[in-house]
Structure formats: C-alpha cells, structure tokens
Amino acid sequence: MDIGYTSAHLRTAAVDAVRAPSLHNTQPWRLRLRGGGIEVLADPARRLPATDPSGWGVRIACGAALFNLRIALAVAGIPARVRLRPDPAEPDLLARLVPDVPRRPTPGEQSLHAAIPRRFSNRMPFWPNPVPADARWRLGEAARAEQCWLELLIGVSAVAAFGEIARGAHRVLERDPAYRSERERWLRQEPAPDGVPASAGGPLSEPQDVLPARGFGGRERAPGRDFEPEPLVGVLGSVGNTAVDQVVAGQALQRVLLTATDAGLSVSMLSQPIEVPTAREQLRLSLGRFGTPQMVLRIGYGQPGRPTPRRAVDEVLDLPVVPA
Ligand SMILES: Cc1cc2nc3c(=O)[nH]c(=O)nc-3n(C[C@H](O)[C@H](O)[C@H](O)COP(=O)(O)O)c2cc1C
C-alpha cells in the first residue's frame, strides 16, 4: 500500500493513545507524522529523574500508548505495521507505524478499543470475589499475544512472599527525599491535565496491608473496608530487558489492562519492586521464570471509578506544517 497515514488519522488515533497509563500520569510521549508514518517518541522532559533514572517507565508508558494507537488504527480499518526503535541515531524515536493492508477490525480489536476510555487505575480495596479461571486465562493470553508473560501468584504464601519483596522496595524508595518530593510534585489537589488526582489516590496505607501503596492516598478508609486479604497479583515480564523489550512490555501491559477492563475487572499497578534493582532480581528469582519482570498488577472486582485527566491531544502532536 503506498498511501500513508494522514493528520486526520493521527488526530483520531492520538485521542486513544494518550489514554495510556504512565508513571505519576506524566504522559511522557510525543506523536509525530513523518512521510506518511506515525511515530511514537519518548518525551525526555517528562521523565522522572529520581523515580525513573533509566527511562524504563517512559518506555513502558510509550509502549502502552503505542498499543492504543495500533488498536485505534485497526478499528479505523487501516492497521499498522510497526517497527520498534527504527533509527539508532534517534534513540527517543521508539516506534514507527506505517499502513498495512486495509481490512475490517476483528471483534477482539473492537472490544479492546471500546475498553480504552473506560480503563483506569483503581487503587481502592477490591471485593473479595475471586477472579474466575476463564478471565485469568484471557489475561495470560493477552500478555502472550504481545510476546510477554503474566505470572499469576497462586496461594497465600506466594502473595505474602511477594508482599515482603514489595514492601522492602517501597521502604528503600521512601528513604530517598528526591523520590518523595517527585511524588508530592505530581500529586494534584486541584483539577489538572496531568499528575495523579488526590481523588484517584486510594486510601491511606495501614500497617496490616499486604501490598505497599505508592502514597498518593489521602483518605481514611471506611471501617471494614480493608484491602482484600488475598489479592490476585500478576507479574508481567518480557524476554529481555533492552529498550525495545521495555516498549514490547508496555504494549503487553496495555493489552492486559484493556482485556481486564473488557472482562469487568479492575487493576492497580505497583512498580516499586521493579524500580529497585535488588527487589526486581529477588522477584525474578522467586518466579523462576526466564526473562525480566516489568510490572506488577493487583487484579480484582472494584468499585466504579473515573478515568484520570490527560493533556489536550494538540500538546503531544507534531504534524508537518502545511504551506499556506
Ligand atoms: C511504568 C508505570 C509504573 C506505575 N507504577 C505505579 C505504582 O507503583 N503505583 C500506582 O498506584 N500506580 C502506578 N502506575 C499507574 C499510574 O500512576 C497511572 O497510570 C497514572 O496515574 C494515570 O492514571 P490511570 O492509570 O488511571 O489512567 C504506574 C504506571 C506506569 C505506566
């Protein structure tokens, strides 16, 4: 096919792309139209230097935005062929999408697309109802479809052992004043187009909690509304841990999150044990899996909630200048 994507295609797909999750809702992406291709770039100005010194979080978020772009373009009837990191001379250029053969979207693509505006991080306690086997299977399939794996921790002792690793990582991070002040800076008490709204932060942590919460929370929890004692914890991992592997993992993350949303499930993310190298290694060894853990998910049935704000699409677009 020799025609390329247009500004109109990019504008429409970008509305979905920016709904992707990102560390502290920093939205560290840019989208560019060049020679009929749509390009996803990391925005280094939006990286968190203390929380994300290596840029791992930026690449996960951009991978998630890339997945949304792929689904949006597929649903528009012009699916993309994707090349990751196409130009070594431009390391911030993470992906380039060019039109593949036009076709009708599949029902699966349509369901994932419909889930994009409904997905949000749910940091509230979930109901104790277990996640049924078929939903667990679908989540694993979603990760596998994107060349990643999702290990669901089975049993109280596996979750307790993970909780110990995660709380240890949380304590390490919390000792760093730069990390704490970064988190404070991105916590929003007033309406804002980025950052984590206090209303989305979940409740205050309590000593009996199995999993550590990032500390966006401010509200006391209602009596009897503790976190589920046996949360379903999933660890998402990739084959390797290069920049490309992290973009691949970001796409898998978003596919798992949208599949969960489509199945009526709620998810919150916890990445403290990914951000602390010794904890990440402990987690990797505890799973006995080949590859690298890239994200941890708490999955269950949650109370309704609301998607968080995003910047206007125009702020992330880089379109060719049309001569007057
Ligand atoms: C790489 C990455 C790491 C994240 N780590 C955490 C975390 O440790 N704790 C948490 O509550 N949310 C975490 N999140 C979720 C973001 O805070 C969330 O995506 C962002 O605030 C936007 O909100 P939304 O997911 O509701 O759209 C993470 C997201 C990404 C992409």
The answer to whether the CB of 23 falls within 8 A of the CB of 308 is no
Residue nearest atom 17 of ligand 1, based on CA coordinates:
24
- Tell me, yes or no, whether 162 lies in a domain: yes
Task: Kindly state whether residues 202 and 229 are assigned to the same domain.
Answer: yes
Closest ligand 1 atom to the C-alpha of 123? 11
| Whether residues 104 and 162 fall in one domain | no
CA distances from 19 to 121, 193, 206, 224 (A): 11, 12, 31, 33
Q: What is the pLDDT of residue 84?
A: 98
Give the distance (Å) from ligand 1 centre to CA of residue 11.
24
Same domain, 46 and 152: no
- In this structure, the answer to whether residues 282 and 230 fall within a common structural domain is yes
CA dihedral 8, 32, 99, 309 (to 10 degrees): -60
Nearest protein Cα to ligand 1, atom 21: 25
Assigned domain for 57 exists: yes
Regarding whether 284 and 154 lie in a shared domain, the answer is yes
Q: Are residues 137 and 277 in the same domain?
A: yes
Higher pLDDT, 244 or 206: 244
- Are 31 and 317 in contact by the 8 Å Cβ rule? The answer is yes
Which atom of ligand 1 is the closest one to the Cα of 307? 26
262 and 291 inside one domain? yes
Most ligand 1 atoms within 8 A of CB, residue of 15, 16, 23 to mutate: 23
Ligand 1 atom at shortest distance from the alpha carbon of 201:
11
**Ligand 1 centroid – CA 195 distance (Å):** 10
**Dist CA 65 CA 161 (whole Å):** 32
1: pLDDT strictly greater than 70: no
Compute the distance from residue 298 Cα to the ligand 1 centre, in Å.
Answer: 12
The residue whose CA is least distant from atom 12 of ligand 1 is 269
Q: Using a 6 Å CB cutoff, which residues line ligand 1?
A: 21-25, 57, 60-61, 120-121, 123, 196, 214, 268-272, 307-308
Maximum separation of any 2 CA atoms in the chain, in Å: 66
Q: Binning pLDDT at 50, 70 and 90, where does residue 323 land?
A: low
Q: Which atom of ligand 1 is nearest the CA belonging to 196?
A: 21
Contact between 94 and 42 (Cβ < 8 Å) = yes
- 318 backbone dihedrals φ, ψ, rounded to 5°: -130, 95
Q: What is the residue with the minimal CA distance to atom 28 of ligand 1?
A: 23
Helix-helix angle 277-287:156-174, to 10 degrees: 170
Q: pLDDT at position 283, please?
A: 98
The mean pLDDT value for 43-51 works out to 98
Tell me, yes or no, whether 102 and 22 share the same domain: yes
Total count of domains within the chain: 2
What are 234's two structure tokens?
């999933």
Give 58 Cα–ligand 1 centroid separation in angstroms: 11
- Within 8 A by CB and 6+ apart from 107, the residues are none
**CATH code (residue 104):** 3.40.109.10
pLDDT, tens digit (0-9, with 9 covering 90-100), for 145-184? 999 999 999 889 999 999 999 999 999 999 999 999 999 9
The pair phi, psi for residue 186, each rounded to 5°, is: -100, 5
256 in a structural domain: yes
Atom 31, ligand 1: which residue's CA is nearest? 22
Say if 125 falls within a structural domain.
Answer: no
Whether 160 is in a domain gets the answer yes
Residue 59 scores a pLDDT above 60:
yes
Q: Whose CA is closest to atom 7 on ligand 1?
A: 270
Amino acid identity of residue 162, one-letter, is F
40-to-66, 86, 145, 318, 322 alpha-carbon distances in Å: 7, 11, 21, 10, 21
Query: Ligand 1 centre and the CA of 231: distance in Å?
Result: 18
Atom of ligand 1 nearest to the CA of 253: 31
**Helix or strand (DSSP H, E) at 170:** helix 156-174
pLDDT average, residue stretch 40-51: 98
- What's the confidence (pLDDT) of residue 324? 66
pLDDT of res. 219: 81
Ligand 1 closest atom vs CA 216: 11
Cα of 64 from ligand 1 centre, angstroms? 12
If asked whether residues 144 and 93 sit together in one domain, one would say no
Q: Model confidence at 2, in pLDDT bands (50, 70, 90)?
A: low
Q: Does 35 lie in the same domain as 162?
A: no
Q: 18: CA distance to ligand 1 center in Å?
A: 14
Final residue of a domain: which of 117, 148, 176? 117
Q: Which two tokens stand for residue 192?
A: 């804002």
The answer on 94 and 172 residing in a single domain is: no
pLDDT tens track for 270-314: 999 999 999 999 999 999 998 999 999 999 999 999 999 999 999
In this structure, the answer to whether residues 108 and 160 fall within a common structural domain is no
Look at residue 1 and tell me if it is in a domain: no
* 211 falls within a domain: yes
Which among 117, 148, 164 is the end of a domain?
Answer: 117
CA distance 308 to 63: 19
Q: Is position 41 within any domain?
A: yes
Atom in ligand 1 nearest the alpha carbon of residue 21: 19
Structural domain of residue 142, as residue ranges?
133-300
